[in-house]
Amino acid sequence: MVRENHIKERGGAKIRLLLTLLVVGSMIFAASRVIPAYFANYQLQDAMKTEAQFAASAYPRRTEQSIRETVWNKAQELGIPAEEKDVVVRMSGANVDINVDYTQSFDLIVTQWNHEFHLHADNHSI
């Protein structure tokens, strides 16, 4: 009897190990596709904040077009799938507002996922 139960349980640990490896491997694969886009998004957000903070205080004062070109060049450098028209800069007095909206596509083999990013930076005081 004891020997029969041992035979029935044989291979169960191998199947659990395979399923665990499959789940962990899938998570690593998905993370390798998604994390770089979020990191690039973070870098662009940081560049936009820096640009907004120093745009109005720079001498000579920067124009909307020069700020737009700087942000657009940074987006291209980071491989962000935004178009030039997606970079919107508004200046009024000493206030600078920068907005970038774009959609990033993630191909996870079994599904296609689109995420919309909405970035905003300004130099308004708190």
Per-residue DSSP letter, 122:
E
Domain boundaries of the chain, sorted by first residue: 2-122
pTM here is 0.79
Question: Cβ(115)–Cβ(106) under 8 Å?
Answer: yes
pLDDT tens digit at each of 126 positions of the chain: 555 555 555 667 888 999 999 999 999 999 999 999 999 999 999 999 999 988 877 677 788 999 999 999 999 999 999 999 999 999 988 889 999 999 999 998 888 989 999 999 998 865
The pLDDT tens digits for 76-105 are 999 999 999 999 999 988 889 999 999 999
pLDDT at site 78: 95
